[in-house]
Amino acid sequence: MQNITSTVDLKEAIQQLEKKQIAEGQLLKEQFNITFTSLKPVNLIKSFTEAVASPALISNLLSAGIGLTAGFFSKGILTKTSGSLLKKVIGSILLFGVSKIVAGKPGLIQAIGKRITRSVSSNKKAAS
């Protein structure tokens, strides 16, 4: 801002500052209304359900669940036959490995699952 040397310059500077204050006040009111609207319980629930129902999150949760299930299943098969310490350790390693592999390649697991489902359903139809 420039130096004010006269009363006319002072009045102009005051008017400019008042206009600036009015404009910033209006922006503040608009932002307050936006924030107030977004914090209403209905809108909070709506945004939460949109975030939770995103396909990426569902896919990640599904692949992690399938990975853990496959890992526990493979560990159970190995450790059911014998309760030795070595087999339990190998079972835990197998659980981790299978879980990591399955969770890392959900598309492959889904394709295998679809093939198994098709073959089971076609065997049922052939047996009927």
Q: Please give, one letter per residue, the 3-state secondary structure of 51-103.
A: HHCCHHHHHHHHHHHHHHHHHHHHHHHHHHHCCCHHHHHHHHHHHHHHHHHHH
Q: Is residue 94 part of a domain?
A: yes
For residues 104 and 116, is the Cβ–Cβ distance under 8 A? no
- 63 is a domain residue: yes
Residue 37 lies in a domain: yes
Domain that includes residue 11, residue range:
7-47
Residues 67 and 108 in one domain: yes
- Both 63 and 89 in one domain: the answer is yes
Q: 20 and 67: one domain? A: no
What pLDDT is attached to residue 20?
95
Per the structure, the count of domains in the chain is 2
- 2 found inside a domain: no
Task: Give CA angle at 74 (57, 108), nearest 5°.
Answer: 45
CA dihedral 64, 66, 71, 72 (to 10 degrees): 110
What confidence score (pLDDT) does residue 26 get?
95
pLDDT in tens, the chain (128 residues): 578 888 998 999 999 999 999 999 999 999 999 988 888 888 888 887 777 776 766 666 776 777 677 767 766 666 665 567 777 777 778 777 777 776 677 677 667 766 776 776 676 566 55
